Amino acid sequence: MFKEFKDFAMRGNVLDMAVGIVIGAAFGKIVSAFVDGLLMPPIGLLLGGVDFSDLFITLSEGDFSTLAAAKEAGAATLQYGLFINTVIDFLIVAFAIFLLVKQVNRFKQEEEKKPAAPPKQEVLLEEIRDLLRTRA
């Protein structure tokens, strides 16, 4: 059973997938940092100083001015600002993956367009034919 698992785990596709998942997770963190730290603050500023990560609706009784105050009081909240940030994260990651897949497909199409080199036998036969033509 261990040998079968080792054979399964060492297949190229499984290793490629594992590397892709690790790199994707790291890329997701980079995008989250970009959205939270660089993209949303200027957008919030343009919209009148709104901090998207602090947007929420209180489901419990009481009026709270900040999300931190609502959490301290133990109030149930819908944090739609975090949802907006997450949707933007997703859209950026999805667009980056789209661009990556588009480039890979373009490179594959370029490789497919290149004519394959003729077999060695065919090349040798053409050389023999050309030699016979020059003698005749």
Q: Which of 44, 51, 89, 47 lies closest to 68 in space, CA to CA?
A: 51
Question: Could you give all domains of the chain from N- to C-terminal order, each with its CATH number?
Answer: 2-135 (1.10.1200.120)
pLDDT for 12 equals: 65
pLDDT at residue 83 above 80? yes
Q: pLDDT tens, 107-117? A: 877 777 777 78
In this prediction, residue 129 has a pLDDT band, given cuts at 50, 70 and 90, of: very high
- Within 2-125, strands assigned E span 57-58, 77-78
pTM recorded for the entire structure: 0.59
Q: pLDDT tens, 32-76? A: 888 888 888 888 888 888 778 888 999 888 888 888 888 898 889
